[in-house]
Structure 1
Amino acid sequence: MFFMETKRFIIVVLGALLNAVSLNLFLIGANVYASGFAGAAQLVSSIFTDFFGIGVSTGVLLLLFNIPVAIIGWLKVGKGFTIYSIVSVICTTVFLSIIPIYSVSNDIILNAVFGGLIGGAGVGLTLKWGASTGGMDIVAMILSRKSDKPLGIYFLSLNAVITAMAGILYEPENALYTLVALYVSTRLIDAIHTRHEKVTAMIITKKAAELQKAIHYRMVRGITILPAKGAYSNEDKSMLYLVITRYELYDLEKVINDVDPHAFTNIVQTAGIFGFFRKS
Structure 2
Amino acid sequence: MKINTIFNKQNIKNAIFVIIGCLISAIGVNMFLVNAKLFSGGVSGLAILIQYAFKFPAGYTVLLANIPLLVLSYKKLNKRFTIYSTLGTVSLSVFLLLTKNLSSIVTIQDDILFCVYGGVLTGVGAGLAYSNHGSEGGMNIIIILVKKKYDSFDVGQLGFTVNCVIVFLGMLLNGIPIALYTLMSMYIAATVTDKVIHGLSRKKVLLIITDKEDEVCEYITNSKHHGVTILNGKALTGKERKVIYCIVHVSRLPAFKYAVQKIDENALISIIDASEVDGKGFNSNIL
- Return the TM-score normalized by structure 1: 0.63
| CA displacement, residues 63-96 of structure 1 (integer Å, 9 cap, x when unaligned) | 0010111122212321111111111111112212
1:152 Cα deviation after fit = 6.6
Counterpart amino acid of residue 28 in structure 1: V
1:136 aligns with 2:139: yes
Task: Note closer, same or farther for the CA distance 1:113–1:155 as it changes in structure 2 (3 Å cut).
Answer: farther
1:3 Cα deviation after fit = 1.1
Instruction: Please name the residue that 1:102 is paired with.
Output: 103
1:8-27 matches, cutoff 5 A: 8-27=14-33
Instruction: Please name the residue that 1:180 is paired with.
Output: 184
Contact 1:20–1:96 (Cα < 8 Å) also in 2: yes
Task: Note closer, same or farther for the CA distance 1:183–1:152 as it changes in structure 2 (3 Å cut).
Answer: farther
Counterpart amino acid of residue 44 in structure 1: I
State the SS of the aligned residue for 1:102.
helix
Task: Note closer, same or farther for the CA distance 1:17–1:58 as it changes in structure 2 (3 Å cut).
Answer: same
- Note the residue ranges of structure 1 that are not aligned, 5 or more in a row: 50-55, 195-245, 254-264, 270-280
Q: How many residues were matched structurally?
A: 198
Instruction: Please name the residue that 2:11 is paired with.
Output: 5
Instruction: Please name the residue that 2:175 is paired with.
Output: 171
Counterpart amino acid of residue 120 in structure 1: G
State the SS of the aligned residue for 2:103.
coil
State the SS of the aligned residue for 1:159.
helix
Counting aligned pairs with the same residue, the percent is: 31
Contact 1:17–1:122 (Cα < 8 Å) also in 2: yes
| CA displacement, residues 80-117 of structure 1 (integer Å, 9 cap, x when unaligned) | 11111111111112212222241534111111111111
Between the aligned partners of 1:86 and 1:128, the Cα distance in structure 2 is 15
For the pair shown, the structure with the greater C-alpha radius of gyration is 2
Between the aligned partners of 1:190 and 1:155, the Cα distance in structure 2 is 15
| CA displacement, residues 183-223 of structure 1 (integer Å, 9 cap, x when unaligned) | 111122233335xxxxxxxxxxxxxxxxxxxxxxxxxxxxx
Instruction: Please name the residue that 1:73 is paired with.
Output: 73
Between the aligned partners of 1:120 and 1:152, the Cα distance in structure 2 is 17
Between the aligned partners of 1:8 and 1:148, the Cα distance in structure 2 is 30
- Return the TM-score normalized by structure 2: 0.62
- Note the residue ranges of structure 2 that are not aligned, 5 or more in a row: 199-274
Between the aligned partners of 1:44 and 1:248, the Cα distance in structure 2 is 40
